Structure 1
Amino acid sequence: MITVRDKQIDVLFDAARIAAEVDRIAAEIAVGPSANLLVVSVLKGSFVFAADLIRAMHRAGLAPEVEFISLSSYGAGTEGGEVRILRDVDCEVAGRTVLLVDDILESGRTLAFARDLLLSRGADAVKLAVLLDKKGKRKAAIEADHVGIDCPDHFVVGYGMDVAHAFRELPFIGRVVG
């Protein structure tokens, strides 16, 4: 347990575990079709994972283009609602294989929305890569193609994930316990 901003944080997944999972996911992705690959990072939570993943993909021999989309389904609370586009991708996705990257697959509403949006714009395929998977929280019929770690039912922070804009900078994933 460590203290950050006067809060006790229980470390669930340390930096070494995360790095190993990122390398494993990149190796999995490298086995599949990679011509004209477009990585779309779902902001804000996935920015750290996406950055590490695209560098690991480069080490695995891939050279994807990278884009960003910002979606919101939480508002001020922690229960998901209607998904809104806050920032859209700038490039054409038609005829491309898209790898949608997010920090965590929970309810699935946001990733299902993003996947369906990119497919409706003509993407040949949309694959999903997530660092964490909370299967018990699923509300949409969606599964990731590449999963790092099955996550217990905790609200997690660190490695890009936050609570009220805090704790994104942590090099590990943990839960606030007090």
Structure 2
Amino acid sequence: MTAQQKQQSLILDRTQIEQKVKRIAYEIYERNFEEQELVLAGIYPNGYTLAERLAEQLRQISPIQPQLVKVSLNKDYPLEEPVQLSPENLPLEGKTVVLVDDVLNTGKTLAYTLDIFLSHSPKKVEVATLIDRHHPLYPIAATYTGYSLATTLRERVQVVLQPDEVAAYLL
């Protein structure tokens, strides 16, 4: 066991994360059951992986056809580089957009991504997060939360969404 592993506490294991993803997918479907399609916009890297998992669940439980968008930005200095969407030409006007990220901490990352979506006149924008830490500095609240966790500002939450390891740790 490494020194870093000794200092981290397991918050969610693979089974728990899979349950949370399934529950969030059901909640998205319940709130958007009249939609033919919706856009899952994942903050790269982990938010996008989470969006892929949500899309897979939505396809299994509903007739909704989720479209995936990868959102790339400089999380530390969001004004230094433009927010990029991939695919960049996906029509968003009149559609429901669900911004997806693994951890919602201060809301900064999601706040800086809103502008690019609002400029395309979506029907509505919702936020889905696996873990909400409740340290808001920006007016961003999660519409869908997998796990609510009270942490100190010094603690970090690390989410691992790899084929060989799926877990969330408190560091």
Give the TM-score normalised by structure 1: 0.79
Deviation, structure 1 residue 48: 2.8
How far apart, in 1, do the equivalents of 2:159 and 2:108 lie? Answer: 22
Deviation, structure 1 residue 17: 1.1
Sequence identity percentage: 24
Give unpaired runs (5+ residues) of structure 2: none
Does 2:115 align with 1:116? Answer: yes
The match for 1:65 is 67
CA, structure 1 residues 84+150, in 2 after alignment: closer, same or farther (shift >3 Å)?
farther
Does 2:131 align with 1:132? Answer: yes
Deviation, structure 1 residue 86: 5.0
Deviation, structure 1 residue 149: 0.4
Q: Deviations over 1:12-64 (max 9, x none)?
A: 11111111111110001111222231111110121332222111111111321
CA, structure 1 residues 98+86, in 2 after alignment: closer, same or farther (shift >3 Å)?
closer
The match for 1:15 is 14
Counterpart of 2:129 in 1: which secondary structure? Answer: strand
Give unpaired runs (5+ residues) of structure 1: 76-80, 161-166
How far apart, in 1, do the equivalents of 2:118 and 2:56 lie? Answer: 26
Counterpart of 2:58 in 1: which secondary structure? Answer: helix
How far apart, in 1, do the equivalents of 2:140 and 2:16 lie? Answer: 25
| Aligned alpha-carbon RMSD (Å) | 2.3
Deviation, structure 1 residue 92: 2.2
CA, structure 1 residues 143+169, in 2 after alignment: closer, same or farther (shift >3 Å)?
farther
The match for 2:24 is 25
Give the TM-score normalised by structure 2: 0.82
On the 8 A contact 1:13/1:172 being kept in 2, the answer is yes
On the 8 A contact 1:13/1:173 being kept in 2, the answer is yes
The match for 1:88 is 85
**2:118 corresponds to which letter in structure 1?**
L
Counterpart of 1:99 in 2: which secondary structure? Answer: strand
Deviation, structure 1 residue 88: 2.3
